[in-house]
Amino acid sequence: MNKKIGVYICHCGGNISDYVDVEKVKESIETDEGVFLAKTTMFACGDANQKEMVDDIKKNELDGVVVASCSPKLHLLTFRAVTERAGLNKYNYVHANIREQASWAHSDDKPGATETAIHLVKAAIAKVRLAEPLYPFIINSKKAVAVIGGGIAGLRAAIELADMGCPVTIIEREHFVGGRVAQWDVLFTTNETGKEVVTKLYNEVIRHDNIKLLTGAEVISNTGSIGDFTMKIKVTPRYIKEKCNEGHLLKAIAVCPVDVPDEFNFNITGRKAIYHNFPSEYPQTPVIDIKNCTRCGECEKICPSVDFSQKEEILEINVGSVLMATGFDSYTPADGEFGYNQFENVITLPQFKRIIDLNDKKLIFRGKEINKIAYIYCVGSRQIDGENKYCSRYCCTSVIYAAMQAKHKFNEINNYHFNRGIRTYGKQEVLYAESLKGGDIYLQSYEDAPPTVEQHNDKITIRINDILTAKKEMSVEADLVVLVTGMVPRADNSVASLFKLPKGRDKFFNEIHMKLRPVETVIDGITICGACQGPKNIMESVNSALSAAIKSFSYVSKGELELEPIIAKIDKDLCTWSGTCAEACPFDAIKMVKDEKKDVAAINNSVCKGCGMCLPVCPSNAINLIAYSDNEIESMIDALAG
């Protein structure tokens, strides 16, 4: 049967028509086989044009539609929805991208851009001639979500899911929740403390019957796919009974002979093998660091709650969606970078913030009173030669606020800020203005000429060619140098390998589209939020957590899911099972199965993404991609070549 095809060519408000002669494109394709009507429109995605398309499809009983406009990443789903509203199967719609692939790519060659657009539209028409109606796969979905990470983003996402009636399991690798925020005292803009923020969220979590909190827990295996993930979780015990006497425990901590660097204070202080950071961390039950514990028995003599008989557990949970909120690490400078690990009074911003919190009337570090503080910005961010070329965004505001805190809390503090340009975006700009009014000194350099740090006779000097004074060399003798370190991805993010999560060039987890699909990943059913996908402050992390919670809930709320039918398809008669297809598949969607007489490949429909990686490696050409068969692709090539 010959199809009746409608073709719509978009001006895109000049984005296309400034370089592509859209009327010539229409004239060139309107006599092609199957083309029943061809129109140009100023904005194909506009409501008026969408209504006109619906009317055209119904009135003319069209069998296929082509829209030649901008990227399908923006409007493929828009026009599929239009065809559905008109009663046409949405897979009888084909999108032609003549903005990015013609107009923008050839803006210096209008005739060439027009010819390219004509060929792209002809190829789309050739494809839609062979398009068949397709229908989504329906699979069952377990109404439960696993939240991996118990920081601010993970806790807030779990609460949102639980409030919607969805069972949630929070899986936190550490023995305490709250993430990085638990380590901070007063937070900029709100003046809340990290403890107050964490306390509110923790109290919400424990009151919820829908939330199960696992601490000291790590995902060790994952199988399944959207709607049906099965995970094994290793839970390390605290070696402390749940009901315990706080007085006994504090005495037990005091007698412990083991002393190790305290990660909570970024190793500037020590802790015991039995420890708890009161009152900032929850649950407020200590834990025994079994790796460093010597089993001397001193704590057992004092505290009956110590229980070394507790064993590791392996739990198995089944969920329909997984929400990743694994957080970030602070950048650790290399040895010698601005004097780090070379001069004893050079520390990082996270360490400085803990020092402010741990001191009272005087700012003391290594037994000496601190008065002059130099802050070196963009350490681990905006690196010209390093890996971290991005801006971590929160650092400028964080260090300015910390410097102001130090000045307000301690007497006679002088702050010197060595920066590359201040980025206190949004309302946080008022902190920068307040810092300037308070007398803080700002010295600025270019990215390729950072300040230098030297030490002579126990005195640290920072030198800079200050561009604010026409590159005049300035020097400051400081008691303390604070390296303003940015955010980097977690050093140990093995969970990403288990779920095959994609990462961007910055090594953070990658969303599908930062504006259109900001918390979804290419692995169906897995969402991301917070600083695991890029540098964010608390407010931004919470907003993304709410978005991820809503998206994860949409996967599990109805108990069943519709999946895209554009997947690989095996011709069992041709298949000889070489295994090359399974090796090429990035989603583990292909397995070997026993047929009547031989081994053949089988596709897991709920995992296959229709990427086509398996097609070219099959030695017997036994794999086709639904909606992108050899016939369809060859017809498009013929149209392009013609």
Domains of the chain by range and CATH? 5-130 (3.40.50), 145-236+312-327+490-556 (3.50.50.60), 246-302 (no CATH), 330-488 (3.50.50.60), 568-626 (3.30.70.20)
pLDDT at 114 > cutoff 80: yes
The residue that leads in pLDDT, 302 or 53, is 53
Identify the bridge partners of residue 1 per DSSP, sorted by sequence position.
none
**525 close to 555: Cβ distance less than 8 angstroms:** yes
Q: What is the pLDDT of residue 543?
A: 97
Q: What is the mean pLDDT of residues 624-631?
A: 91
Q: Using pLDDT thresholds of 50, 70 and 90, give the confidence band for residue 375.
A: very high
Q: Let me know if 132 is exposed, middle or buried by CB neighbors in 10 A (0-12, 13-18, 19+).
A: exposed
Q: What is the pLDDT of residue 217?
A: 97
Q: Buried (b) or exposed (e) across 352-382, using 16+ Cβ within 10 A?
A: bbbbbbebeeebebeeeebebbbbbbbbbbb
Q: What is the mean pLDDT of residues 620-626?
A: 93
Question: Each residue of 186-244: pLDDT tens digit?
Answer: 888 788 999 999 999 999 999 999 999 999 999 999 988 899 999 999 999 999 987 77
Cα–Cα separations (whole angstroms), residue 573 to 238, 499, 615, 622: 57, 33, 16, 8
**Bond from prior residue into 136 cis (ω within 30 degrees of 0):** no
**304 close to 212: Cβ distance less than 8 angstroms:** no
Scanning 324-471, the segments in alpha helix (DSSP H) are 349-358, 395-409, 429-437
Tell me phi and psi for residue 336, to 5 degrees: 90, -10
Q: What is the mean pLDDT of residues 539-562?
A: 95
Q: What is the mean pLDDT of residues 383-408?
A: 93
- Token look-up 């957590």 returns 545
Task: Residue 146: count other Cβ atoms within 10 Å of its Cβ.
Answer: 27
481's CB contacts (< 8 A; 6+ apart) are 338, 339, 343, 345, 346, 347, 373, 374, 375, 376, 453, 460, 462
pLDDT at 511 > cutoff 80: yes
Write down the mean pLDDT value for the chain: 93
**463 close to 436: Cβ distance less than 8 angstroms:** no
346's CB contacts (< 8 A; 6+ apart) are 338, 339, 340, 453, 460, 481, 483
Q: How far apart are CA 63 and CA 83, in angstroms?
A: 10
Tell me phi and psi for residue 233, to 5 degrees: -125, 125
Q: What is the pLDDT of residue 246?
A: 73
pLDDT at 607 > cutoff 90: no
Q: Using pLDDT thresholds of 50, 70 and 90, give the confidence band for residue 1.
A: low
Token pair, residue 279, equals 């009152």
Q: How far apart are CA 460 and CA 497, in angstroms?
A: 44
Question: Each residue of 16-44: pLDDT tens digit?
Answer: 999 999 999 999 999 999 999 999 999 99
Scanning 86-151, the segments in alpha helix (DSSP H) are 110-130
Q: Could you tell me the pTM of the whole model?
A: 0.84
Q: Using pLDDT thresholds of 50, 70 and 90, give the confidence band for residue 486.
A: very high
Tell me phi and psi for residue 222, to 5 degrees: -145, 130
Tell me phi and psi for residue 279, to 5 degrees: -105, 20
Q: How far apart are CA 150 and CA 132, in angstroms?
A: 46
Q: What is the DSSP string of 27-73?
A: HHHTTSTTEEEEEEES-TTSHHHHHHHHHHHHHHT-SEEEEEES-HH
DSSP state of 611: -
Q: How far apart are CA 165 and CA 235, in angstroms?
A: 26
Q: How far apart are CA 573 and CA 444, in angstroms?
A: 70
Share of the chain above pLDDT 70, in %: 100
What percent helix, strand, coil does the chain show, rounded to 5? 30, 25, 40
Q: How far apart are CA 396 and CA 413, in angstroms?
A: 19
Q: H or E stretch including 154? A: helix 152-163
Token pair, residue 449, equals 């000429």
pLDDT at 493 > cutoff 90: no
Q: What is the mean pLDDT of residues 304-313?
A: 92
Cα–Cα separations (whole angstroms), residue 492 to 91, 153, 296, 400, 495: 42, 19, 31, 30, 8
**587 close to 500: Cβ distance less than 8 angstroms:** yes
Q: How far apart are CA 179 and CA 152, in angstroms?
A: 7
Q: How far apart are CA 417 and CA 461, in angstroms?
A: 13
